[in-house]
Structure 1
């Protein structure tokens, strides 16, 4: 439509918003998202449309932030629900002393300082599962997940108290986590029924193949072999099989055997 698409160009951004809203020109082409638009264009355009399960990626460096890559690839809904904030805190820490404090917190909660490092993979799956469970738990209570487990507190003591007050039933943090993981198991089962498998829990090819071109993380990339290791551990901790399908034990743990039979 004669609009130069340059990174950070305000005119290009504002024009695109208007075209999308009015479904005019290329706005009509991309009205259902970048992935759908690229598919319609064809001719290899799909490789330039950075998306997962048809949803656009967030503006972050997944090649560096390994936990966010796993969270994005596996999320049952919209991947913004699993923000792995301990990694953000480490990356945003202003100096070595602040990073040290984040690493101490990670060691206390997850058993290893590497859980705070965006470029490490040995604690990625437990971190992702912890955050996805807590965001679901907070969602169930009706609170803002950007406060807990992200900005205000990492723990579920306040949501548990609120849930107890609202229901008249004593609900602990462990109870909330159990309920959240029950929801996650059901969500995964529904997606599996709809055809979702391991092949869908992945990142765009460019994330695996192209290293970060510049900046402090220049040369960093997400190795496909490392991603597969993270995914294997994620599945194992959730009691899914190698193809991402929940096993009977997952349903049994949450009292969902009748649903498993379906």
Structure 2
């Protein structure tokens, strides 16, 4: 099915999340055969999934609704199906379970692109990158222990802010994230050295990360112009209110508000609007009088 999606030019994360929504809604009785064109859309039915992939690619029947993505599809159907549409800012949530890896929970909520795991990719919280976390986030001892405990919400905002800035630079330079933010085989210092050698201009880790921060803030301003604000930095209630039912992290929910409060503070954004303050814009060389919110 992954190969089929690739051949048809369909994103596997978005389509997988949209089909999962349809399956859950069908099993809950919120979707019927009248909606699906006679198909029984039950969890794990590979034959039906393959058929839905083809229908979506060709916008045939129920596939034309799925092709809109999970947010719009749920709005088209209505009848309470919106509750089961797992997305942030219209983008379907990827495989990382927010209730077990809290740094990805925050990263999905704050991402200017919606629930994109590659926007922040805060793998610096994982125990195997403990040395890098200590170096770049300035944490040690008990604080570092809290950071590398992926189920704890503490210090995840610091990791997300740093990772978002680094990712923005990596994206701007067209460098692979596996070698940079995923593994730190290419550190911010090495990236600065490479850019300096290539472009012939002075560059440091600090100057590149400031460029990344400027990019994140400009994207936030673009989103604000299009009507997004603090209310959109959120997650589906399944992750914030429904405890994880089983597994090693059973009972866990996402402490999103606590993480957002720290995130906005570190970013220098107004916690009531989720937008950069004038002081932050000025510090980044974005004079407020020249930036339309």
Q: Same fold (TM over 0.5)?
A: yes
Structure 1-normalised TM-score?
0.87
Q: Equivalent residue for 1:259?
A: 290
Equivalence map 1:76-91=2 (5 Å): 76-78=112-114, 79-80=116-117, 81-87=119-125, 89-90=126-127
Structure 2, unmatched stretches of 5+, are 1-37
Which of 113, 124, 146 is matched with 1:114 structurally?
Answer: 146
Partners of 2:207 and 2:107 in 1: how far apart? Answer: 23
1:151-199 CA-partner distances (Å, limit 9, x unpaired):
3537212321221122111211111101110111111111112221111
Decide whether aligned partners of structure 1 residues 154 and 198 sit closer, same or farther in structure 2, where only a CA change above 3 A counts. Answer: farther
Asked if 2 retains the 8 angstrom alpha-carbon contact of 1:240 and 1:247, the reply is: yes
Partners of 2:284 and 2:192 in 1: how far apart? Answer: 19
Q: Equivalent residue for 1:133?
A: 165
Asked if 2 retains the 8 angstrom alpha-carbon contact of 1:251 and 1:259, the reply is: no
Q: Equivalent residue for 2:42?
A: 5
Task: Give the secondary structure class of the aligned counterpart of 1:43.
Answer: coil
Task: Give the secondary structure class of the aligned counterpart of 1:150.
Answer: coil
Whether 2:265 is the aligned partner of 1:236: answer yes
How far apart are 1:77 and its partner, in Å?
1.9
Partners of 2:94 and 2:182 in 1: how far apart? Answer: 17
Q: Equivalent residue for 1:199?
A: 231
Decide whether aligned partners of structure 1 residues 261 and 36 sit closer, same or farther in structure 2, where only a CA change above 3 A counts. Answer: closer
Instruction: Between 158-167 and 174-183, report the one with greater CA deviation.
Output: 158-167
Partners of 1:113 and 1:107 in 2: how far apart? Answer: 10
Which of 209, 213, 216 is matched with 2:245 structurally?
Answer: 213
Partners of 1:261 and 1:103 in 2: how far apart? Answer: 40
Task: Give the secondary structure class of the aligned counterpart of 2:103.
Answer: helix
Partners of 1:61 and 1:217 in 2: how far apart? Answer: 11
Q: Equivalent residue for 2:16?
A: none
How far apart are 1:105 and its partner, in Å?
4.8
1:204-248 CA-partner distances (Å, limit 9, x unpaired):
1111121111111111111xxx31121111111111112212110
How far apart are 1:261 and its partner, in Å?
6.0
Equivalence map 1:138-177=2 (5 Å): 138-153=170-185, 155-177=187-209
Asked if 1 retains the 8 angstrom alpha-carbon contact of 2:91 and 2:113, the reply is: no
Task: Give the secondary structure class of the aligned counterpart of 2:182.
Answer: helix
Structure 1, unmatched stretches of 5+, are 91-100
Q: Equivalent residue for 1:59?
A: 95
Equivalence map 1:23-34=2 (5 Å): 23-34=59-70
Instruction: Between 150-159 and 229-238, report the one with greater CA deviation.
Output: 150-159
How far apart are 1:103 and its partner, in Å?
4.3
Structure 2-normalised TM-score?
0.78
How large is the Cα RMSD of the aligned pairs? 1.9
Which of 231, 246, 261 is matched with 2:276 structurally?
Answer: 246
